[in-house]
Amino acid sequence: MIIKPKVRGFVCVTAHPTGCAAHVQQQIDHVKSKGPIVHGPKKVLVIGASTGFGLGSRIAAAFGSGAGTLGVFFERPSEEGRPATPGWYNTIAFTHAARAAGLYAQNINGDAFSDEIKRQVIETIKRDLGQVDLVVYSLASPRRQHPRTGAVHKSTLQPIGAPYTNKTVDTDKGVVSDVTIPPADEAGIADTVAVMGGEDWEMWMQALLDAKLLAPGATAVSYSYIGPSHTWPIYKDGTIGRAKVDLERAAKAINAKLKQAVGGRAFISVNKALVTQASSAIPVVPLYISILYKVMKAKGLHEATAEQMQRLFATQLYSGAAPKLDGEGRIRVDDWEMRDDVQAEVARIWPQVTTENLAQLTDIAGYRTEFLKMFGFGLPGINYETEVEPHVPMP
């Protein structure tokens, strides 16, 4: 079938298998171009491995330090007349590339919140790897069925305490408008923490510890975002921010357990704002990213996902020295984004943006390009007018 992008709101409901493979190869090529990460991990579990920071982490580990990787994700294979999700195609492309390079690459597709998937992962590590020396926790899900209570929790993207009004952009139509988001109630806050907080990460790490599958000195890392004051009411001070506070609580608890049990360590890495499926869903944030991209590109500071994860691994987690931490004990690879000169320029542009001058004052074109690339569209060297087979089996 001929597969074209079909964008509905903040998601594209189609994905191109050849394009996704090309996008993965771009990221692999970047990591390889930076040279080996000498002190990097060798046996890695990535929870949430098929897109975004999780996929970037898997690529950095495999092609930066020659690691064998086990990836966990929840993706939909292709169906009759319907392509698979991009994460399905991404994982297939990664797996072929890793195995061609002589690297172990295995995958488990299912609900990472469930006890059953944790059991499958434990069995696979025991059989194939023995132990892992890095666990990357990079889940981004709108819902979670709690494995103990059976309750289904759904996360919300809302402020806390009062409604929030600010500019946003319809990235598909290019219309800038004000959006008002009502505040979450206590149940909504609790549900968001249950989905996006640290409890499931703690469950994963405890299960791995109990099974003695963490190598001496093992590292665990999860990802967060803080951003500028423009986005705080909907992010840092909103329901997501409350979940991220719980994630940081979990990191401290996991760090203490790992230190005692295996001489290990756990970190939160605060990453740069990037176009991801998760960030595209948050009101206000796509407009901020569009401005940020223009500013950072002009200053030669822009990084995409693979660049960000390669830098995290090479200069922080596995530099041969202890990571540089902020006052809260977090790694900051949002340091270039949060530079004073970058944020001052973003703040100068922000109030000026309208529908009419969007293309001039922001990098909305770059945002759209990155958005479509997540789904395998707009990659150079691919003829999107030709037929492509959507049914691609997982190797």
Q: Give the residue numbers marked as catalytic.
A: 235
Give CA–CA dist 358/214, Å, rounded: 49
> Residue 395 contacts by C-beta under 8 Å, 6 or more apart in sequence?
92, 95, 96, 99
Tokens of 344: 């001052």
Smallest Cα–Cα separation from 295: which of 333, 340, 331? Answer: 340
Contact 192, 155 (CB under 8 A): yes
Tokens of 22: 């090309």
Smallest Cα–Cα separation from 350: which of 280, 279, 296, 292? Answer: 292
- The radius of gyration computed from the CA coordinates of the chain, to the nearest angstrom, equals 20
Tokens of 59: 């690529």
Contact 51, 90 (CB under 8 A): yes
Degrees to nearest 5, angle at CA 10 with 6 and 11? 45
Degrees to nearest 5, angle at CA 54 with 233 and 12? 70
Give CA–CA dist 244/296, Å, rounded: 25
Sign of the alpha-carbon dihedral angle for 183, 188, 194, 195: negative
For tokens 């979990």, the residue is 250
Tokens of 375: 């789904």
Give CA–CA dist 164/103, Å, rounded: 48
By DSSP bridging, strand 265-270 and strand 331-332 are parallel
Q: φ and ψ at 25, to 5 degrees?
A: -65, -35
| 3-class DSSP assignment, residue 170 | strand
Dihedral of the CA atoms 248, 253, 259, 265 (nearest 10)?
A: -20
